[in-house]
Amino acid sequence: MNDRAQSGNNLDPWFHHYAERAAGLRASEVRALFAVASRPEVVSLAGGMPFVSALPRDLIQGAMDDVMRTEGPVALQYGSGQGVPKLREQILEVMALEGIRANADDVVVTTGSQHALELVSKLFLDPGDIVISEGPSYVTAMVIFRSYQADIDHVPMDEHGLIPEALREHIARLKAAGRTIKFLYTIPSFHNPAGVTLSWERRVEILQIARDNDILVLEDNPYGLLYFDQPAPDAMRSVEEDGVIYLGTFSKTLAPGFRTGWALAPHAIREKLVLANEAAVLSPSSFSQLVISKYLETADWKGQIDTFRGVYRERKEAMLSALGEYLPELTWTNPNGGFYVWLTLPEPLDSKAMLPRAVKELVAYTPGTAFYGDGGGHQNIRLSFCYPTPEQIRLGIRRLSNVLRGELELLDTFAGTGSLTSVRNSTRFSLPPTDLN
Q: Enumerate residues 6+ apart whose C-beta is below 8 A from 437.
A: 159, 331, 332, 333, 334, 344
Q: Enumerate residues 6+ apart whose C-beta is below 8 A from 65.
A: none
Q: How far, in Å, CA of 119 to CA of 112, rounded? A: 11
Name which of 77 and 140 has its Cβ closer to ligand PLP.
140
Q: How far is the CB of 203 from ligand PLP (least distance, A)?
A: 17
Q: How far is the CB of 193 from ligand PLP (least distance, A)?
A: 9
Task: Give the DSSP H/E element, type plus range, for residue 380.
Answer: strand 380-384
Beta strands in 199-243 (DSSP E): 216-220
Q: How far, in Å, CA of 403 to CA of 27, rounded? A: 25
Q: How far is the CB of 222 from ligand PLP (least distance, A)?
A: 5
Q: Which amino acid makes up residue 30?
A: V
Exactly one of 81, 83, 195, 256 binds ligand PLP (CB under 6 A); which one? 256
Going by the DSSP 8-state scheme, the letter that residue 427 receives in this structure is S
Name which of 116 and 393 has its Cβ closer to ligand PLP.
116
Work out whether the CA dihedral 53, 54, 59, 63 comes out positive or negative: negative
187 is an interface residue for ligand PLP by CB under 6 A: yes
112 is an interface residue for ligand PLP by CB under 6 A: yes
Q: How many helices (H) and strands (E) does the chain have?
A: 13, 14
Exactly one of 133, 147, 238, 249 binds ligand PLP (CB under 6 A); which one? 249
188 is an interface residue for ligand PLP by CB under 6 A: no
Q: How far is the CB of 411 from ligand PLP (least distance, A)?
A: 33
Q: How far, in Å, CA of 356 to CA of 191, rounded? A: 26
107-110 and 261-264 beta bridge pairing: antiparallel
Name which of 113 and 351 has its Cβ closer to ligand PLP.
113
Q: Rule CB under 6 A: which of 25-84 touch ligand PLP?
A: 48
192 is an interface residue for ligand PLP by CB under 6 A: yes
Q: How far, in Å, CA of 168 to CA of 210, rounded? A: 9
331-332 and 261-264 beta bridge pairing: unpaired
384 is an interface residue for ligand PLP by CB under 6 A: no
Exactly one of 80, 90, 113, 333 binds ligand PLP (CB under 6 A); which one? 113
Q: How far is the CB of 138 from ligand PLP (least distance, A)?
A: 4
Q: How far is the CB of 333 from ligand PLP (least distance, A)?
A: 15
Q: How many residues bind ligand PLP (CB under 6 A)?
A: 13
Is the omega angle on the peptide bond into residue 136 within 30 degrees of 0, that is, cis? yes
361 is an interface residue for ligand PLP by CB under 6 A: no
337 is an interface residue for ligand PLP by CB under 6 A: no
107-110 and 340-344 beta bridge pairing: unpaired
Q: Rule CB under 6 A: which of 197-236 touch ligand PLP?
A: 220, 222
Positions that interact with ligand PLP (CB under 6 A) = 48, 112-114, 138, 187, 192, 220, 222, 249, 251, 256, 261
